């Protein structure tokens, strides 16, 4: 048991770095994923994950696979796409989901093209799927800073974020902070996707944000326990994915996301609000 569960992290520094980085991402991104899900914006997270690719690709073209330039580029690109999609939906007849889809498709194609112009297929795979086993001190510092900013911001704007999830129109009618809180939340989404990009790549970073949140939804309806459970599921997924990757020589990022996917599928069936319990409650109601 020790050799399977503990030894990989005790014996290898790169496994410990991957563990620290992925756990910090789970602590940071899973609460954001819960709010995204409750606001019915789950696909917005996926769109934003693709939207950061051109900025990251620009940083790659100018400086190579260096963390700071790619992070700054990804952050700028994510903010531009979020503001652009919001402006289109506000000043035209098109809804925000359609404008977001258009922007992210353009961004994804542009980013892939930019990486392909200078880099190899290996570079493209690193950008798209991340390198969680190659996290260095700079990457861990960046992820730690993003986690601290996210948790601090959530604590400060907690009541406003909860109110906007329940009734955004009411919040905007009684408070002038409704619109600013919406953009602050979108900034948190972009920030966490940029952090996740370092470990999981642009295509998989949203997985650690959304799958634990979606799984937690099948176990509780209360917000605080849902966030705590999402963080726990995210942490378990990270540990399980890294161990599976190490012992079976599989890609680490996909292994982490698939571990979260397995928990999600199990939650659909066995959760307190899942299929089995729903059938039991329905049967008891009919026989009562």
Give the other-Cβ count within 10 Å of 179's Cβ.
14
Average pLDDT of the residues of the chain: 84
pLDDT at 185: 87
Among candidate residues 256, 251, 219, 217, the one with its CA nearest the CA of residue 236: 256
d(CA 94, CA 175): 26
In percent, the amount of the chain with pLDDT more than 90 equals 36
Place 20 in a pLDDT band, splitting at 50, 70 and 90. very high
DSSP string of 89-127? HHHSSS-HHHHHHHHHHHHHHHHHHHHHHHS-HHHHHHH
pLDDT at 285: 62
Contact status, residue 261 vs residue 241, Cβ threshold 8 Å: no
Q: Stretch 59-74: mean pLDDT, rounded?
A: 80
In percent, the amount of the chain with pLDDT more than 70 equals 88
The residue with greater pLDDT, 168 or 193, is 193
d(CA 283, CA 176): 48
pLDDT at 209: 92
Query: Is the pLDDT at 268 greater than 80, yes or no?
Result: yes
Whole-model pTM: value is 0.88
Q: Stretch 96-100: mean pLDDT, rounded?
A: 74
Cα dihedral: 216, 251, 151, 159 (round 10): -30
pLDDT at 25: 93
Contact status, residue 182 vs residue 168, Cβ threshold 8 Å: yes
The residue with greater pLDDT, 281 or 149, is 149
Query: Is the pLDDT at 73 greater than 80, yes or no?
Result: yes
- pLDDT tens digits, one per residue of 204-254: 888 999 999 999 999 999 999 999 999 999 999 999 999 999 999 888 888
pLDDT at 217: 93
């Amino acid at each position: 048991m020790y050799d399977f569960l503990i030894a990989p992290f005790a014996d290898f520094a790169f496994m410990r770095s991957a563990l620290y980085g992925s756990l910090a991402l789970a602590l940071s991104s899973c609460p954001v994923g819960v709010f995204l899900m409750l606001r019915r914006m789950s696909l917005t997270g996926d769109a934003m994950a693709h939207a950061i690719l051109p900025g990251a690709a620009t940083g790659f073209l100018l400086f190579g696979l260096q963390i700071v330039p790619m992070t700054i580029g990804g952050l700028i690109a994510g903010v531009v796409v979020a503001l652009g999609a919001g402006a289109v939906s506000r000043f035209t007849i098109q809804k925000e989901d359609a404008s977001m889809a258009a922007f992210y498709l353009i961004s994804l194609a542009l980013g892939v093209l930019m990486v392909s112009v200078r880099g190899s297929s290996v570079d493209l795979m690193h950008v798209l799927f991340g390198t969680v086993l190659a996290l260095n001190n700079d990457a861990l510092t960046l992820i730690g800073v993003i986690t601290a900013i996210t948790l601090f911001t959530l604590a400060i704007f907690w009541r406003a974020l909860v109110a906007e999830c329940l009734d955004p129109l009411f919040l905007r009618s009684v408070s002038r902070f409704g619109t600013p809180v919406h953009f602050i939340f979108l900034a948190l989404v972009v920030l966490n996707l940029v952090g996740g990009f370092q470990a999981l790549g642009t295509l998989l970073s949203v997985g650690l944000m959304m799958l634990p949140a979606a799984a937690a939804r099948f176990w509780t309806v209360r917000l605080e326990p849902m966030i705590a459970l999402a963080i726990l599921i995210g942490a378990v997924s990270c540990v399980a994915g890294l161990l599976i990757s190490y012992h079976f020589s599989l890609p680490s990022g996909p292994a982490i996301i698939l571990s979260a996917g397995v928990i999600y599928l199990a939650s659909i069936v066995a959760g307190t609000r899942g299929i089995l319990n729903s059938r039991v409650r329905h049967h008891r109601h009919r026989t009562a």
